[in-house]
Structure 1
Amino acid sequence: MSEQPPAYDPDNIFAKILRGEMPCFKVYEDDHTLAFMDIMPRTDGHTLIIPKAPSRTLLDARPEDVQHAAVTSQKIAQAAQKAFNADGILFQQSSESAAGQVIFHLHFHIMPRWDGVDLRPPGQKADDDVLEEHAQRIRDALASL
């Protein structure tokens, strides 16, 4: 096993979003979690869920923070599937670089999926108007659940 991972960095982009220092396309917020659109979506409706409590990965998070994030993830998945008439939902979580984690604040991906439609390549920023429209669709679906 490799050496201990670095400590949580309070200046990561998700921590800045939580403090209101960086903008996001908010979908949902409660006392424990925040859900917002991924600005480089792999699918239409690609949403991120983060706990408000700091942790780098799933491995160092408090169990109650994981629980809150899981409950919010289920809620967002149900709304995203409805909002985008998706055939399924891809739920993804990566912990540490070797697993593909890029931003070191625990986060979960909710990606609507359709039969026969591939994921977009990573790293392509979406238009802000599209992201806002997708966020609104999910917020509307949340309100009707």
Structure 2
Amino acid sequence: MTYDSNNIFAKILRGEIPCKKIDEDEHTLSFADINPQAPVHILVIPKGAYCDWADFAATASAVEMAAFTKAIHRVAELTGISKTGYRVISNTGLDSHQEVPHLHMHVLGGAPVGPLVLAKS
């Protein structure tokens, strides 16, 4: 997958599309998902142009990686879901149904999120 600088998250980062911001720092932006799958559903994205987890792991700096990890924790704290539990999901590639070619983590909580979804045999 190649990075598309016109993807929706790139447009949000450039301020072309509004978002309900939850948290932001030098390297990350976190905002409410427009189609929430749980009472709390936040997207955490790096500000760098990374297609997916594989791209980020291979090319991001240690500072960016640390900031991304800390942003996920901050979102859980800010939304109160760190007390009861939450799930962090990243889709990478076609088989996972990744829809936006910009790395993003879904942080879901606020209610039981159910068991993990497993592929059918």
TM-score, normalised relative to structure 2: 0.82
Aligned residue pairs, count: 111
CA distance in 2: counterparts of 1:73 and 1:63, whole angstroms: 17
Question: For structure 1, which runs of at least 5 residues remain unmatched after alignment?
Answer: 120-145
The 3-state SS of whatever aligns with 2:52 is coil
**4+ long deviations beyond 2 Å:** 63-67, 84-87
Kindly tell me: are residues 86 and 41 of structure 1, through their superposed partners in 2, closer, same or farther at Cα, counting changes over 3 Å? farther
Kindly tell me: are residues 85 and 35 of structure 1, through their superposed partners in 2, closer, same or farther at Cα, counting changes over 3 Å? closer
Task: Answer 1 or 2: which has greater helix percent.
Answer: 1
Contact 1:88 1:112 (8 Å CA) reproduced: yes
Please give the residue correspondences for 1:1-20 in structure 2 after superposition, counting only pairs within 5 Å.
Answer: 5=1, 7-20=2-15
Deviation at 1:113, TM superposition (A): 4.2
1:71 aligns with 2:70: yes
Structure 2 residue identity aligned to 1:106: L
Larger of the two Rg values belongs to structure = 1
1:24 aligns with 2:41: no
> What is the percentage of aligned positions where both structures have the same residue?
34
Contact 1:86 1:114 (8 Å CA) reproduced: no
Q: CA RMSD in A?
A: 2.0
